[in-house]
Every structure is written in structure tokens, then in C-alpha cells.
Amino acid sequence: MKIADKVMLMAIPLIAATFVRLLNCSVRTETLGREHLTALWDRGERSIISFWHDQLLLMVAGYPGKGAKLLISASKDGELLTRTMKYFHHGTIRGSSSRGGRAAFKEMLNIANADADIVLTPDGPRGPRHELKDGVLQLARLSGRPVVPMAFVCSRGHRFRSWDRCLLPYPFSRGVFSFGPPLYFNKEAGIDAFRDELKAAMQLNQHQAEQRLKLMVYQLYNLLLVLAAIILLPYYLLRGIRYGKSRRGVRERLGYYDPQLLAALRTGRLSGFMPSL
């Protein structure tokens, strides 16, 4: 291995992990459905966590557990990601549907009884985008583990022009992590039925995260309106007191507050009265 490659393998994971931590600290996030995972852990069960490939960046920060096993490609980029995951105390399973997939699948089955959640992207590593592949379905069938849908949305971010349109949240934006109810493979229904059920569950979980994000933005908008009213209302009241005398002088000159008119109104003697201008 070249010296430049060694330096890259040492420096890039540290920089990437630092960037993810700083970005996650700057994004105000909320988590939905965490009780689904904690309920499984309380029963001594471990799950298969499934999320789309374009939401990969902050998922490691949104996972509330410890010591998960992530399925990562056996490529050079996968090696960088594997070293990055070590900074978050997560293990990895090297392989994908295109490189080392069979060996990785056997390893996943070997650790299916281990005390660790398995995390994967069912549409990775090359797509098609948001299309379930057989890996997660077969793993759920053979291991008996439930599949927990996971999603992330943010109020402001950048979409790269990659096959998955990878999402980069902007700093100081708002985000929502969402976990759906666990789904168990039904042997009587079969693979195709479970595929449709899981895809519908992932879409529903994504929709719930988006709806919660809209509510968060709406609440922030209302808060800004209230703060603006608190700040601006005293200003306009003081401004009215300051300029009120001069405004009354203009009205008096126009005859609206003529003393003779006011006296005539009190006594009812209005005949032949013309207000002076």
C-alpha cells in the first residue's frame, strides 16, 4: 500500500467522523418511535434496521443503541466508511449485492444470534433508488429477526447528483429521525408479500417524519411571529405616544376638535354653527 493511501485511510475517517458529530450537534433533531426499539431490547430481541441509502450521512448519529453491525461495501470507499464507524463504536460486515455479497450474507446469518442490531440499506450500494432488494427480505426470513424501518428528513439540505440523491443537511436546520413498528416475516405470505409490506411501512415511516417536520417548522414560524409582536408592539405604542400631540394638532386645524363645536355638541345648540378651519 502506498504511503498516500495509508495517510488517506488514517486521516479521512477521523475528519469524516468529526464532521458528522459537528453537523449532528448543529442540527436540531427529534426522534420518533424510539419505543419500538427499546421494547425489542427489553424483550431481549435484536432487529434489522432498514433505511434508504440517500439518508446515510446522519443515521449513525440517530441510532440510539450501541454496538450495531452495519453492512458496508467491500470497495475502497467501504474501507473508509468501516474505519469511520469505529469512531462511533459500531462494527461492520463487509460486502454488498455486487461485491462479496454472498460471504457477507453468510456472516450476517452467523451473527444473527449475537447481541447486536444489523443495519443495512436495502437499495444500496448502486440502486435503483428506494427499491427493496432481496437481501433484507431473505435475512428476515432466515434469521427470524424483525425489520424496523428508519428514516431521516431535514428542513434544509443539499441533494447531490448521485444515483441515490444523497442528502446533506445544512447546519442549524431541523431534522427528524423516525423508527417504525417492527415487521416479522410471515412464511405463509411469502417473499413478495413481505416486500410490499416492508416498502409500504418504510414509505409510511418516511411520511410520518415529514409530517412531524412540517409541524416543527410551523411551530417555529408561530414562535417567530409571537417574538416579533412582543418586540414591535412596544415600539409602535411608544411611537404613537411620541407623535400623538402633533397629530392632534393637525386634526384641530382641520376642525375635528374645534372647542366651539365641542361646546355646541354638549349644549345641543348647533343651528347656524360652522366649524372654523
pLDDT tens digits along 95-120 = 665 555 666 667 667 767 777 899 99
* Half-sphere exposure of residue 138: CA atoms within 13 angstroms, side-chain side: 11
Residue 273 has pLDDT above 70, yes or no: no
CB 128, CB 112: distance < 8 Å: no
Give the per-residue pLDDT at 103. Answer: 67
Instruction: Output DSSP code: residue 55.
Output: G
Q: Where are the domains of the chain?
A: 3-211
Measured distance CA(14)–CA(11) in Å, rounded: 5
Measured distance CA(184)–CA(194) in Å, rounded: 9
* CATH fold of 3-211: Glycerol-3-phosphate (1)-acyltransferase (3.40.1130)
Residue 242 CB contacts under 8 Å (≥ 6 apart), including other chains: none
Summary mean pLDDT of the chain: 83
Cell of 261: 363645536
Helix (H) or strand (E) holding 150, with range, is strand 147-154
Largest CA distance in the chain: 110
